[in-house]
Amino acid sequence: MDGRRIVKVWRLHHRRWVAEKLGPDAASRELEFTRKILCLDAKNYHAWSHRQWVLQALGGWEDELAYCAQLLEEDVFNNSAWNQRYFVITKSPFLGGLKAMRDSEVDYAIEAIDANPENESPWRYLRGLYNDENEAWLNDSRVHSACLRVLKAKRNFKFALSSLLDLLGLGFKPNQEIKDAITSLRTSDSGEAGSDSDLANSVCSILGREDPMRANYWTWRSSKLSPQAAEV
């Protein structure tokens, strides 16, 4: 909405109108066009929307996953590229869909998390890979192992903690190592973490300290805890 828009939106609409008339041949040209824009502005919202429209209406999926990987190599914090990756793995006719891709994508996301645990994008992506399949998410040991690694490093652990909080809310039973890691992050001396709901409360109070901007939210989350609280 500011004066320095790179892409005049009405031109994209016109391109879409023309491309629709030309059919699938227009796919590679339209993809090249958006690639040029994204080279200058890798998060340009309208360029990404147009690119998604091209893929769905005209095709050209073959190189899209590689394109996402390239963008994420250039900037692993590029949330648009993470979003596009999710779009590709769920919708590309060449990749078999979310369930087929999940295993390798979990590894990919966790690699990014290990490198930069403060990066919100791979955390959201990881959670999104499981969608509403809560049991599968709970039972994938790679997920809580990743949380544990980040907690033990004692740096940039707010997303690790909030992931654990979500897991606990769904009935996750943490092992002793995780309990100890959480305990060691507590500063108050309110005794050992007993039941899992004490643990969840501990997590909330640590989050209130580590993520003070959202202190009221973490207090509210604490008030919403119950032994088998469903998140949704």
Separation of alpha carbons 190 and 193, rounded Å: 8
34 DSSP 8-state letter: H
Q: Which two tokens stand for residue 164?
A: 């654990």
Q: Which residue stretch of 34-42, 124-132, 180-188, 195-203 sits at the interface with another protein (rule: CB under 8 A)?
A: 124-132
As a whole number of angstroms, the longest Cα–Cα distance in the chain is 70
Q: Which two tokens stand for residue 37?
A: 């824009």
Compare residues 49 and 183 and give the one whose CB is closer to another protein. 49
Q: Which residue has the tokens 């369930």?
A: 99
Q: Which two tokens stand for residue 170?
A: 């769904």
Judged by CB under 8 A, the residue of 14, 36, 142, 154 near another protein is 14
| Number of residues this chain uses to bind another protein (CB under 8 A) | 48
Compare residues 193 and 200 and give the one whose CB is closer to another protein. 200
Judged by CB under 8 A, the residue of 29, 124, 152, 186 near another protein is 124
Compare residues 194 and 212 and give the one whose CB is closer to another protein. 212
222: phi > 0 → left, psi -120 to 50 → alpha, else beta; which? alpha
* Residue 192 C-beta: closest distance to another protein, Å: 29
Q: Give the per-residue contact string, 77-116, with another protein (x = CB under 8 A; - = no).
A: xxxx--xx-xx---x-------------------------
**Nearest Cα residue to 165 out of 180, 177, 182:** 182
Cα distances from 147 to residues 44, 61, 131, 188, 201, in angstroms, run 32, 33, 18, 22, 17
Q: Is 34 in the site for another protein (CB under 8 A)?
A: no
Which one-letter amino acid corresponds to residue 223? S
Q: Is 187 in the site for another protein (CB under 8 A)?
A: no
Compare residues 48 and 172 and give the one whose CB is closer to another protein. 48
Q: Is 32 in the site for another protein (CB under 8 A)?
A: no
Separation of alpha carbons 84 and 41, rounded Å: 15
Q: List contacts with another protein (CB under 8 A).
A: 1-3, 5, 8-10, 12-14, 16-17, 20, 43, 45, 48-49, 52, 56, 77-80, 83-84, 86-87, 91, 119-121, 124-125, 127-129, 131, 162, 212-217, 220, 230-232
